[in-house]
A and B are shown apart, each in its own frame.
Chain A
Amino acid sequence: MPTQAEVFQKVQTALVDALAVDEADVTPEATIVGDLGAESIDFLDIVFRLEKAFGIEIPRAELFPEDILANAEYVKDGRVMASGISELKKRMPFADLSKFESNPVVQEFANQLTVNDLCRYVGGKVGAN
C-alpha cells in the first residue's frame, strides 16, 4: 500500500510529463487548470498517466462530473444550486469544494481542481495511508 508521499510523487510526475511544467510548480495547492495551465486535451493525458502509474481505472464522471454540471435540476443561470453542491460532494468526496461553494459558477468548476484533490482521489482508490 503506497504512502501519501509516494502518491504525491507519482501524481507530480504524471503532471510534469503531461503538462511540461517543472516539479517545483506542482505544489499541493496548485490548481491543475489555473496554475499548471492544463487544457481539456490534457485531461485525457493526465487520466491515462495516472491510470498507468497506479494501476487503477478512472471513470471520467468521477473527476469530471459533467452530468451534474449540465443537469437543470442542479444548475440555474450558470450557477450550481445547493442540491447540485451536495451531489458534487457525494460524487467527489476527495475534493475540497469550499472555494467553489462560495462562488459556484459552472464554468469555473474545472478551474478549482488542485493537485491535492487529485492526490486524495488517487489515494482513496489505492488505499494510501
Chain B
Amino acid sequence: MYFSLIDRITHLEPGSSIRALKALSLAEEYLQDHFPRFPVMPGVLMLESMYQTGAWLIRASEDFAHSMVVLKEARNVRYGGFVQPGQTLTISAEIVKQDETTTSLKAQGELDGQVAVSARLVLERYNLSGRSSEPPELDEHIRRRLRENFRLLYTRPAASSQVADGSPAK
C-alpha cells in the first residue's frame, strides 16, 4: 500500500488501545531527499504513522462504520530522536475520550525503549454521503477497500491458539 506508514498491527484492544510497527528501509525512495547525506524518517511521517495507527483503532472499534477518519488536530508533537533505515518504530495509541464524531488520543512512537515521538491527536469520523452530495455507494466502496487494507496489516489472533498481542499462547 502506498503511503501506509505502518507495516503491521501487533496489538488491538477495540475501544481502548493499539500497537503497531513501522519498519524503515533504505528502499523508501523519499529518504534520498531526507536527507541526501543523513537519511532519517521525516518527522511528519512519524506524525502520519501515529495518526494512521489511531485511525485503525477507531475503524476496528466501530466495525468500519465511517468511510472517513481524518486528522483534525495534533498538539504537542515532540520529536525525541531520529529513526534511521534498518530501525523499527513501535507506535502505540490509546483513546482518551470520544464523542459521536471526534476521538482524542494519546500516541507515541518508541525506538529501542526510548520515546522518539509523542503527540495528542484529535480524529474526526464521518461518511461522505452525510456531508456532501457523494452517494452512499462511495462510502460503501471506501469502507470495503479499507477492510481489505486492514487485513494486510492485522491478523486477528485465534481465541485459543494466540494471546491478544499476536504471540502464541504459552
Touching chains A and B, CB distance < 8 Å = yes
Query: Are the C-beta atoms of B79 and A20 separated by less than 8 Å?
Result: no
B76 touches A39 (CB 8 A): no
- List B contacts of A39 (CB < 8 A): 78, 80
Which residues B108-134 have CB closer than 8 A to chain A? 120
B37: A residues at CB distance < 8 A: none
Within 8 A of B (CB), among A34-84: 39, 41-42
Residue of A nearest to B77 (CB): A20
Known A-B contacts: A41-B78, A41-B79. Give 7 more (CB < 8 A).
A19-B76, A20-B75, A20-B76, A20-B120, A39-B78, A39-B80, A42-B78
- Which residues does A use to contact B, with CB under 8 Å? 19-20, 39, 41-42
User: A19, A20, A41, A42 — which one has the most chain B CB atoms within 10 A of its CB?
Assistant: A20
If over half of A's interface residues share one DSSP class (helix, strand or loop), that class is named, otherwise mixed; here it is helix
A14–chain B nearest beta-carbon distance, Å: 14
**Residue interface bits B73-95, CB-to-A below 8 A is 1, else 0:** 00110111000000000000000
Q: Could you give, for residues 48-86 of chain B, a 1 whenever the CB lies within 8 Å of some chain A CB and a 0 otherwise?
A: 000000000000000000000000000110111000000
With A and B bound together, what is the CA distance between A112 and B78 in angstroms? 21
**With the chains together, A117 CA to B78 CA distance in Å?**
24
Smallest Cβ-Cβ distance to B76: which chain A residue: A20
Q: Which residues of A contact B120 (CB under 8 A)?
A: 20
- Residues of A contacting B78 in the complex (Cβ-Cβ under 8 angstroms): 39, 41-42
Residues of A within 8 A of B75 (CB): 20
Which residue of chain B is the closest to A21 with respect to CB atoms? B76
